[in-house]
Amino acid sequence: MQTKYNFDQVVNRRNSNSYKWDNTQPDVLPLWVADMDFQAAPCITQALHRRIDHGVFGYVKVPESYYDAVISWFSRRHGWTMQRDWIVYIPGVVPALSAIIKAMTNPGDKVLIQTPVYNCFFSSIRNNGCIIEENELVYANGTYTIDFDDFERRVSNPQVKVFVLCNPHNPAGRVWTADELRRMGELCLKHGVFVIADEIHCEMVSPGHAYTPYGTLSPELLKNAAICTSPSKAFNLAALQISNITIADADVRQRVDKAININEVCDVNAFGVEALQAAYNEGEEWLDEANAYIYNNYQVLCDFAKANLPYVQVCKLEGSYLAWLKLDGFAPSAEVASRLENEFGLKLSPGQIYGERAGRDFLRLNLACPNATLVAALNRLKTGLDAMR
């Protein structure tokens, strides 16, 4: 395939204050934290250079062109046309989750999640004094489904006030269908449960699958939701601290805005404002090539596991760039991950941080890296797991 961008380039991230690379020993390959090892799209670095060349870095006023970029992107790429006043900017999706939970709950309320799920959901809930309620996803044949009977039983509990949806789901790799999303949303609406949709991985979707924005399901479901998005995963901009919450209901938006200000996360990074506009206005071609490259890495992983790792099941990857690996006949994943890092030079995320029971037998592996890095990591994975057998 003819490509314009070189995703095979290995960029040395050591000694760059990289949370992913500089938190490990020099001989360890880190495929854990969910950021990419690719350089950002040239349109983004060019926009940042223009901002740097100005030389003054005072407080930023978010311009109308920022909102235009967000609205245009989601309209043309995903068929969802937001209104300007629905969009609330914030430094990150995790601060957004915490602020929305603060706005929509009282301490002691319950918040529903679907485990295994992104570990920061747990801390956002607990830090607001709320109680975690789990609707554990059902694993079978390399993929996950929703136990809707259990889901309704839990949302019908009057103590459950909020449901945090992850779509595409991290780490399970599901891109929920419109029917699945609508069914969850209607059950929440029926029982008075507010929906927070974390859609940060929405741009990373595998061939044959389609992301459905929660905001497109129906006007009624949209009014009962706050939808969190960011270019940070798709365009590798996590350190630039830029995200958005889309809230159609004016009363909810006012409550969330108050919580954002209470938490003092109401200001964003000037470089993030520039990067988002460049990504959404000019970065589509780069993103499409990145998606294709990552999916090829996923196929390399599947082929390697089939040939060399008979005791590992690679879960079907519908979305995100995070592979979810099921281990058969091993110790709990926290112990396996610790040994892989300390004895075999490979750092992966232990599944137990995404749910003690739901993630016990799983590891999460980041595919957003040059192919050579992935192959080296897979060889270390084989050596380590073979020794642990």
pLDDT digits (tens, 9 = 90+) for 71-121: 999 999 999 999 999 999 999 999 999 999 999 999 999 999 999 999 999
Cα(238)–Cα(321) distance, rounded to whole angstroms? Answer: 15
Cα(172)–Cα(227) distance, rounded to whole angstroms? Answer: 20
Note if the bond before 207 is cis, omega within 30 degrees: no
Q: What is the pLDDT of residues 114-134, one digit of tens each?
A: 999 999 999 999 999 999 999
The predicted pLDDT at position 1 comes to 55
The predicted pLDDT at position 2 comes to 67
The predicted pLDDT at position 3 comes to 84
CA of 41: how far to CAs of 1, 145, 272, 283, in Å? 19, 35, 14, 7
Helices (H), the chain: 42-54, 64-78, 93-104, 120-127, 148-155, 178-190, 219-223, 232-235, 250-262, 270-282, 284-308, 333-344, 371-388
Assigned token pair, 330: 């091993």
Question: Quick check: 86 and 253 in contact, CB under 8 A?
Answer: yes
Residue partners of 117: CB distance under 8 A and separation at least 6: 164, 166, 169, 170, 171, 172, 354, 355
Question: Quick check: 42 and 374 in contact, CB under 8 A?
Answer: no
Backbone phi, psi, residue 96, to 5°? -65, -50
Strands 160-166 and 194-198: parallel
Q: What is the pLDDT of residues 255-296, one digit of tens each?
A: 999 999 998 889 999 999 999 999 999 999 999 999 999 999
Residue partners of 363: CB distance under 8 A and separation at least 6: 324, 325, 327, 333, 336, 337, 340, 348, 349, 350, 351
Please give the single-letter amino acid code of residue 181: L
Q: What is the pLDDT of residues 33-49, one digit of tens each?
A: 999 999 999 999 999 99
Question: Quick check: 134 and 304 in contact, CB under 8 A?
Answer: no
Assigned token pair, 10: 């290995």
Cα(336)–Cα(93) distance, rounded to whole angstroms? Answer: 30
Mean pLDDT of 214-230: 98
**Has this prediction a pTM greater than 0.85?**
yes
